[in-house]
């Protein structure tokens, strides 16, 4: 055997396992579960007090490669993922130049193959993300792209988006939508409301998100296509998606930890690390997003990991939107959802490992004999404080600086290899 994990609490709702056991790993797969008395391995690890779940999958990250590698690159982004228990990611295409052709897709995947985790990439819906002309979905799929999105901005033309959705039925490509109407936002930088008024800064009206969410759902329904709504942040969008699911529309959606943990009140500090698109909203929105996670309306937790340099984030009014999150997402979910008794470990596995892969049509990762070994091992009881300077990402623009969490990834295994380890207290 290559590795034996002893006394680990293995949890996987896909296989029904939920007990303390031993796991043997050999040649990249789970060779045996249970027993193993008298068996030896090149490496034996006592995992008493630790929990093993299928490797997490974040279907919304920005690794800034090509063109913006002063913020992040595929290798540093992968290191951040490993430290967060994430064994697979889907990259967004708003690179420089945008990922709108087969050659760029291949470049990203070739680099990703050398990271030790599973790197997938999306490609643009429109050429140059300019909302003028559709990309070649069939070429992009042949090159290896797994989804299409102009993330960072919406497809401005409803008719062009409808044509993209109609074509996706034939190409089999998943379409993801960044739901913010740019005309409604009109230069706003935080949520439009009490805090923006008090700070005397231009706000981003919630109608920008609700309107495009409703538009995408109507367009998808009209041609029988599937649509995935990115980073849901408003009560209105939650209600629109819930109703659409009830009506049988093929819609899925995601949210990020900051939307179920924080509100616009954080912006009173004028710290640009609390600025992202869409913005932090009101307590009513935060509560609606949390409830939607718990009742299944929101399908998965992502990070929208968006690195920016300290220099870029220095000025509150001019800073770009976005925060990093790969290394804190599991800790946030455990702290806010599990340790408060609102959901189980099994629920978190569904939200962070099972559902993202299902949405993208990827092969599931399961804890079962004969399955490829991708594991996130964490200490659910470990308390720690987020120190931005200790993050593995090239950029340190975390929304959680100084936050005290309970629960921390301590080991990540991908392809049967330990790619991250931090077992010390």
Known catalytic residues are 304
Number of Cα atoms under 13 Å in the Cβ half of residue 8: 29
Phi/psi of residue 106, each to 5°? -65, -40
SS3 286: helix
> In sequence order, what DSSP letters do the residues of 300-365 get, joined into one string?
EE---B----TTTTS-TTTPPP-BB-TTTHHHHHIIIIITTTSS-HHHHHIIIIIHHHHHHTPPP-
| Spatial distance between the Cα atoms of 18 and 252, rounded to a whole number of angstroms | 27
| Spatial distance between the Cα atoms of 223 and 220, rounded to a whole number of angstroms | 6
| Spatial distance between the Cα atoms of 150 and 172, rounded to a whole number of angstroms | 17
Phi/psi of residue 352, each to 5°? -115, -10
Structural contact between residues 425 and 382, judged by C-beta atoms closer than 8 angstroms = yes
Which strand (E) or helix (H) includes residue 229? strand 227-229
Nearest-CA neighbor of 238 among 247, 248, 229? 229
Q: What value, to the nearest 5°, has the Cα angle with vertex 334 and ends 305 and 313?
A: 30
């Amino acid at each position: 055997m290559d590795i034996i994990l002893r006394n680990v609490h293995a949890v996987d709702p896909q296989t029904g396992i939920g007990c303390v056991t031993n796991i043997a790993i050999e040649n990249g797969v789970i060779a045996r579960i249970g027993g193993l008395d008298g068996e030896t391995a090149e490496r034996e690890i006592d995992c008493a007090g630790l929990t093993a779940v299928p490797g997490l999958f974040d279907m919304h990250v920005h690794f800034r490669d090509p063109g913006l590698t002063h913020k992040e690159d595929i290798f540093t982004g992968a290191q951040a993922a490993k430290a967060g228990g994430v064994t697979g990611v889907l990259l967004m295409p708003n690179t420089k130049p945008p990922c709108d052709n087969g050659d760029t897709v291949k470049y990203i995947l070739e680099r990703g193959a050398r990271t030790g985790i599973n790197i997938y990439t999306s490609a643009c819906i429109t050429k140059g993300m300019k909302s003028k002309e559709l990309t070649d979905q069939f070429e992009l799929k042949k090159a290896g792209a797994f989804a299409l999105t102009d993330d960072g901005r919406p497809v401005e033309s409803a008719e062009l988006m409808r044509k993209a959705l109609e074509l996706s039925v034939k190409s089999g490509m998943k379409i993801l939508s960044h739901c913010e109407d740019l005309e409604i936002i009109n230069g706003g930088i935080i949520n439009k409301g009490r805090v923006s008024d008090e700070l005397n800064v231009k706000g981003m009206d919630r109608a920008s998100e609700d309107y495009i969410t409703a538009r995408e759902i109507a367009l998808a329904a009209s041609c029988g296509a599937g649509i995935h709504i990115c980073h849901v942040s408003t009560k209105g969008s939650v209600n629109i998606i819930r109703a659409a699911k009830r009506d049988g529309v093929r819609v899925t959606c995601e949210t990020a930890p900051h939307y179920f943990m924080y509100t616009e009140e954080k912006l009173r500090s004028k710290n640009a690390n609390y600025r992202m698109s869409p913005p932090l909203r009101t307590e009513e929105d935060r509560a609606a997003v949390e409830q939607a996670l718990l009742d299944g309306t929101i399908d998965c937790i992502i990070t929208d990991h968006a690195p920016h340099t300290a220099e870029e984030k220095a000025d509150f009014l001019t800073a770009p939107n976005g925060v990093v999150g790969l290394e804190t997402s599991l800790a946030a979910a455990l702290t806010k959802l599990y340790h408060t008794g609102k959901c189980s470990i099994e629920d978190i596995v569904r939200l962070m490992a099972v559902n993202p892969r299902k949405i993208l049509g990827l092969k599931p990762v399961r804890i079962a004999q004969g399955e490829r070994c991708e594991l996130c091992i964490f200490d659910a009881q470990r308390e720690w404080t987020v120190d931005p300077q200790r993050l593995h990402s090239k950029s340190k623009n975390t929304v959680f600086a100084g936050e005290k969490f309970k629960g921390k990834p301590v080991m990540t295994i991908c392809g049967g290899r330990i790619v991250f380890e931090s077992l010390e207290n």
